[in-house]
Structures are given as structure tokens and as C-alpha cells.
Structure 1
Amino acid sequence: MFNSTVARLTYRALLGRRRALILFALPALLIVLSALVRALTGADDQTAVNVLGGFALATMVPLIGVIAGTGAIGPEIDDGSVVYLLAKPLKRSTITITKLIVAIGVTVTFSAIPTLIAGFLLNGNSQQIAVAYAVAAAVASVAYSAIFLLLGTVTRHAVVAGLVYALVWESLFGNLVPGARTLSVQQWALALAQKIGADGTITSDVGLPTALVLLAGVTAAATWFAVTKLRSLTLAGEE
């Protein structure tokens, strides 16, 4: 279910000049912001929660997920070059899952690691806040990668749709509207962070068992639909 050639091509596409610039810029902004906040306010647990929750998990992680998830397959479908890949003797499921694994790897690398570093800068991992948010970022990265990979297979405007989802639903409604929070990947990941962090430091609107089921369910469903959509693409001459 994994093909090294497909993985290598996908990594090369994702780490091209324009995408790499954004992928590096967002984590760099988080780390610089965290260093400035620490210098101005000192170590403070609530400040760390506000920065890591409000910027890292609510904004940076889904945006990186958009770049990696849609970029893993969307451009190939848009420009038609995917036909060369589909013409190879590879299962469509192998292509999809390989691209998903690459997208997850890129998203986790550019999300969870910078979040951990930022957490240590903000409060030295007091109350396990840095570790909690880093784990939440990694878990959220898996779900986001699957969701945005699916978007890349179903619409030519995957990046726009992904940005709307990331910025409007996850960042805005996911933070402000109580009902919407229960249907937010951010809140599901926060449930795990709440379990890892000290009591009362991090809170989520979703219980941990429910959050884990929803994370696994959404990831599996998005992957299945992406595989199904890729299988529906036909080459010239195929019946």
C-alpha cells in the first residue's frame, strides 16, 4: 500500500519553491512570536495556552494541512499529469494512500515540531503544555491531511475550499460558536491535549473517547472517498 516512487514525486511536488516558502514561513512565524511573547511577558501557562491554542492549533496546523493535503494530488489532477501516474501498473488505493502518508509526514513535521519548540519557548513545558499541544497538532495533522487530500480529488478549487474550511470553520466557528466546536478537528485534538496537560490547563468541548472515534472515523472516511474518487478517473481507451 506504499510506493516509494510515488512518495518521492509527491515530496518533490510539496517541497517545491512556492509551497516550501509557505510551509517554512508559518512555523517560523509561530516560533518568532513565541520568543517575543516570552521576552515581553515571561513564562506564563495561560499565555502559552493562548498562543498554542489560538495560533498554532487553530490556524497554523489546518493551513499547513491545506498546503500538504491538496498539494499532494490536486495539482496533478488539475493539469492532467495524473494520467501518467494512473497509467502505471499501480493500484489506485496504493497511489492515494502513499500520497496521504507523504502529506501526513509533511504536515506533522511542519506543525507538531514547531509547536513543541514554541511551547518550550513560551513556558518551558510547564504543566506539559508544550507536549500536549504538539501531540494534538500531530493528531490533527492526520485528519486534516485526509480531509484536504479528499478535497484535492473532488474539486479544482481545493485550495480555496480548504482555506475557507481552515480559516472560517476551524479558526472562527471552531473557537466562537459552541455547537460548531463539537464538529471541529481542532476540538477533537484538544481533547487529547487536555488529557496530557495538567488538570484545567487545557480544555475541550468534546470528551476524549468521542474525539478519538471522530478523528479515526473522519480520517478513514476521507481516505476511502479519496480512493473511490481516484478509481473513478479513467484514462483514454479505458471502459
Structure 2
Amino acid sequence: MYNPTVARLTYRAVLGRRRAAILFILPALLLLIAAAVRFFNGADDQIADAVLGQFALATMVPLIGVIAGTGSIGPEIDDGSIVYLLAKPVKRPTIILTKLTVAIAVTMVFSAVPTMIAGMILNGNGQQIAVAYTVAALVASIAYAALFLLIGTISRNAVVIGMIYALIWESLFGSLVPGARTLSIQQWALALGERTATGDLVTSDVGLPTAVVLLSVVTVAATWYAGQRLRVLKLAGEE
């Protein structure tokens, strides 16, 4: 269910000039913040938790998910070039799964790796905080990629919708409003990170079993429905 040609075209689209610039800017900003905080405040577990939780996991990871998820298919649908891909003898579920794999890989690389490095800079992985947030970033990358890939198949304003979700729901409501936290991918992923940390700083409002179920449901449902949306796209001359 993986097509190398589709993957190559998808990587080229996601890592295009404009998108690549944003993909590199966000991790660079995280590392810059981490270095500045460490320089002026020294190693501090609480500050490390705040930076990784509020910027890395709550802001950077979903934004990178938006770029990778929507960029893996949205532009092709918008400009109509998807019809050339659909005309090839490649099953549509294979196209979706290949594009999802690329979106997940890009999101993981540009979010989890800098999160780990930033955590090491901030407090040397004290209380396993760096590892905990890296695990959370890896898990969240899967769900975000699937969700934003789906949005890319159903709306021409996928990037705008994704940004609103990432910045308002995940970054604002998902971090500050208690009731909204239980419906946040950030909090679901954080439940797995909480199990990795050795202290009591990394916490989630969602229990681990519930988080695993919700993450699985969102990922599978979004992927399935994206495949269904691709199935209904008609090529010229199709009845």
C-alpha cells in the first residue's frame, strides 16, 4: 500500500520552497528560544516543561502538521493536477496511505527531532522531560497528519482551517480551557508523554487508555474518510 512514485511527488510538493521555509523556521525558532532561556536562566525543569509544552507541542507540532498534511494533497486538488495521478493505474487507497506516510514522516522529523534537541538544551533531559515531549510529538504527528490530510481533501481553504484549528483550538483552548482539553490531540499525545516522564511536571487531563483509543479513532477515521473523498473525485470522461 505504498507507492514510491507517489511518495517522491508528495515529498517534492511538501518540501517545496515556500513550505520548506516555514518547516525550517518553526524548529529553528524553538531551538533559539531554548538556547536563550538556558543562557539567561540556566537549567530549570519547570521552564523546560513550559517551553516544550506551550510552544513545541501546543504550537509548533500542529502547525507543522498543517503544512505537511494539507501540503501532501491539497495543492494537487486545488490546481487540478490530481487528475493526472488518479489516471495512473494506482489504487486510490494506496495514494492516500502513501501521502499519509509522507506527511507523518515530515511532521515527525520537523517536530519530534527539534523537540528532543530543545529539551536537552533546556535542562539536559532532567525528569525525562525532553523524552516525554518527544514521545508526545511523535504520537501527535500521526494524528495531526491524518486529520490535516483529510481537511486537504475536503476544502480549498485547508491551510486556513488548519491554522485556525492549530492556533485557536490546540494552542489556546487546548492549553487553557479545562473542558476543551479532553478533545485535544495535544492532550491525548501528552498522556503518553506523561508515562515517560519521571517527575510530576508532564501531565495530561486525559487518561492513557482513553488517549490511545481517541488517537487511534481519529487517525483511522480521518484516513478512511480521506480515501472515500478521493474515491468520489471524477476524472474527465468518467461516468
Task: State whether TM-score is above 0.5.
Answer: yes
Superimposed CA distance per residue, residues 41-77 of structure 1 (whole angstroms, 9 cap, x where no aligned partner): 0001000000000000000000000000000000000
Give the whole-Å Cα distance in 1 for the aligned partners of 2:104 and 2:116: 17
Give the whole-Å Cα distance in 2 for the aligned partners of 1:57 and 1:199: 18
Unpaired runs of 5+ residues, structure 1, are: none
Aligned partner of 1:44 in structure 2 is 44
Shift of 1:199: 3.4
1:97-112 superposed matches below 5 A:
97-112=97-112
Superimposed CA distance per residue, residues 154-192 of structure 1 (whole angstroms, 9 cap, x where no aligned partner): 000000000000001000100111111000000001101
Aligned partner of 1:96 in structure 2 is 96
- Residue 184 (structure 2) pairs with residue 149 (structure 1): no
TM (norm. structure 2) is 0.99
Aligned partner of 1:121 in structure 2 is 121
Give the whole-Å Cα distance in 1 for the aligned partners of 2:33 and 2:3: 39
- Residue 82 (structure 2) pairs with residue 82 (structure 1): yes
Aligned partner of 1:15 in structure 2 is 15
Give the whole-Å Cα distance in 2 for the aligned partners of 1:71 and 1:11: 9
1:65-214 superposed matches below 5 A:
65-214=65-214
Unpaired runs of 5+ residues, structure 2, are: none
Aligned-residue CA RMSD (Å): 0.5
Q: Runs (4+) of structure 1 moved beyond 4 Å?
A: none
Shift of 1:14: 0.8
Superimposed CA distance per residue, residues 65-100 of structure 1 (whole angstroms, 9 cap, x where no aligned partner): 000000000000000000000000111000000000
Equivalenced residue count is 239
Structure 1, 216-225 or 191-200: larger mean CA deviation: 191-200
Structure 1, 79-88 or 199-208: larger mean CA deviation: 199-208
Superimposed CA distance per residue, residues 96-126 of structure 1 (whole angstroms, 9 cap, x where no aligned partner): 0000000000000000000000000000001
Shift of 1:144: 0.2
Give the whole-Å Cα distance in 1 for the aligned partners of 2:131 and 2:102: 23
Q: One-letter code of the match for 2:206?
A: V
Describe the SS at the equivalent of 2:43: coil
Aligned partner of 2:232 in structure 1 is 232
Shift of 1:198: 1.4
Give the whole-Å Cα distance in 2 for the aligned partners of 1:233 and 1:116: 40
Shift of 1:196: 0.4
Aligned partner of 2:29 in structure 1 is 29
Give the whole-Å Cα distance in 2 for the aligned partners of 1:15 and 1:49: 30
Q: Percent identity over the alignment?
A: 72
Shift of 1:23: 0.2
TM (norm. structure 1) is 0.99
Q: One-letter code of the match for 2:202?
A: I
Superimposed CA distance per residue, residues 116-143 of structure 1 (whole angstroms, 9 cap, x where no aligned partner): 0000000000110001101100100000
Q: One-letter code of the match for 2:222?
A: A
Give the whole-Å Cα distance in 2 for the aligned partners of 1:200 and 1:34: 21
Give the whole-Å Cα distance in 1 for the aligned partners of 2:60 and 2:87: 36
Structure 1, 199-208 or 31-40: larger mean CA deviation: 199-208
Q: One-letter code of the match for 1:203?
A: T
